[in-house]
């Protein structure tokens, strides 16, 4: 089927092609966006119009659009329709810069929701990187981090209770609160260096629900250990990132001999 209109000349949907119909439609729409036939902030034709244009079902149209939304190419605006999204920034991996600082550096609004805060006894996996005896009291804080009111990271932090006594008495439900800002301003503890491990895995059901992902879904993971200037451990972090809303980047330089 060929169509001329808002999208100009369209490629055909080939029912004998080995790719599913929604994959073909997804490719066609992505090509229109890449070639600027549909530019940033342009509104996509309605489901009904796309059904008529390409001779496919609403289910096919919805799956193609959903895939492009998951890729960050399209964006749903409540009550307005589907629009071509602005290219999403990537976020540099920096151990000693907080989520809040990174958000502000990218002109985004940070936010958070406290999921859990408790003093627990450290098992070997937590005690070892913090250089503590197994069973030592550590603070565990779990938060959902937001960018422009959208959930992007499930973050879990562990650190010695003695490092920041009384930190759970801070009102963690009020607006956005930075753990590193509390370390520095309240306790004089300055994270200065560290190490990170980046990976990916399937999201747990809880993570998928919090990050608004459809199961099964993949998340990017970042495990970090931060140290102060004396190489004493400050905290251990484990983060699960929305792969589209918060893509991670790493800048590297070739060392000159």
**Same domain as 157, residue 58:** no
Owning domain of residue 114: 91-249
- From the number of C-beta atoms within 10 Å of its C-beta (0-12, 13-18, 19+), residue 116 rates as exposed
**Same domain as 195, residue 98:** yes
Cα of first residue to Cα of last residue in the chain, in angstroms, is 60
- Is 14 domain-assigned? no
Phi then psi for residue 187, to 5 deg, are: -120, -5
- Is 136 domain-assigned? yes
> Over pLDDT 90: what percentage of the chain?
44
**Same domain as 213, residue 183:** yes
Q: Which of 150, 247, 249, 155 is nearest to 207 (CA)?
A: 155
pLDDT tens digits, 97-150: 667 777 777 777 888 899 999 999 999 999 999 999 999 999 999 999 888 888
Distance CA 112, CA 146 (A): 5
pLDDT tens digits, 57-69: 999 999 899 888 8
- Is 3 domain-assigned? no
Residue 48 is part of a domain; what is its CATH number?
1.10.10.10
Give the confidence band of 36 by pLDDT, cuts at 50, 70, 90.
confident
**Same domain as 44, residue 126:** no
**Same domain as 97, residue 80:** no
- Is 1 domain-assigned? no
Q: For residue 195, what pLDDT is reported?
A: 87
Q: For residue 90, what pLDDT is reported?
A: 55
- Is 238 domain-assigned? yes
- Is 229 domain-assigned? yes
**Same domain as 173, residue 123:** yes
The answer on pLDDT for 252 being more than 50 is no
**Same domain as 210, residue 137:** yes
- Is 112 domain-assigned? yes
**Same domain as 230, residue 111:** yes
Q: For residue 4, what pLDDT is reported?
A: 40
Which of 36, 69, 84 is at the close of a domain?
A: 84
**Same domain as 179, residue 68:** no
**Same domain as 218, residue 136:** yes
Which of 30, 57, 84 is at the close of a domain?
A: 84
- 227 or 91, higher pLDDT: 227
**Same domain as 173, residue 106:** yes
Burial 215-224 (b: 16+ CB within 10 A, else e): eebebbbbeb
Q: Where would I find the beta strands (DSSP E) of the chain?
A: 74-77, 81-84, 91-92, 110-121, 137-147, 150-160, 193-202, 218-227, 233-241, 248-249
Which of 62, 84, 106 is at the close of a domain?
A: 84
> Over pLDDT 70: what percentage of the chain?
87
**pTM for the model:** 0.65
- 10 or 232, higher pLDDT: 232
Non-local (6+) Cβ contacts of 138 within 8 A are 119, 120, 121, 122, 126, 127, 130, 132, 158, 159, 160, 161
- Is 169 domain-assigned? yes
**Same domain as 229, residue 154:** yes
Residue 184 is part of a domain; what is its CATH number?
3.40.1410.10
- Count the domains in the chain: 2
């Amino acid at each position: 089927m060929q169509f001329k209109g808002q999208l100009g000349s369209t490629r055909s949907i080939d029912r004998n092609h080995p790719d599913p119909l929604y994959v073909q439609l997804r490719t066609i729409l992505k090509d229109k966006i890449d070639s600027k036939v549909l530019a940033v902030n342009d509104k996509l034709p309605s489901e009904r119009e796309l059904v008529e244009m390409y001779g496919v079902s609403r289910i096919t149209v919805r799956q193609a659009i959903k895939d492009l939304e998951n890729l960050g190419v399209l964006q749903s605006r409540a009550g307005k329709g589907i629009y071509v999204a602005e290219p999403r920034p990537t976020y540099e991996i920096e151990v000693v810069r907080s989520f809040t600082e990174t958000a502000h550096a990218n002109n985004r609004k940070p936010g958070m929701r406290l999921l859990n805060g408790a003093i627990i006894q450290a098992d070997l996996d937590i005690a070892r990187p913090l250089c503590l005896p197994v069973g030592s009291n550590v603070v565990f804080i779990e938060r959902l981090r937001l960018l422009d009111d959208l959930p992007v990271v499930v973050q879990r932090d562990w650190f010695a209770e003695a490092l920041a006594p009384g930190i759970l008495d801070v009102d963690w439900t009020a607006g956005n609160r930075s753990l590193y800002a509390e370390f520095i301003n309240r306790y004089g503890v300055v994270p200065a260096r560290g190490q990170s491990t980046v990976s990916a895995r399937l999201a747990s059901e809880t993570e998928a629900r919090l990050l608004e992902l459809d199961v099964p879904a993949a998340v990017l993971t970042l495990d970090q250990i931060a140290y102060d200037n004396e190489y004493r451990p400050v905290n251990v972090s484990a983060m699960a990132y929305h792969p589209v809303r918060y893509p991670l980047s790493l800048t590297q330089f070739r060392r000159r001999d």
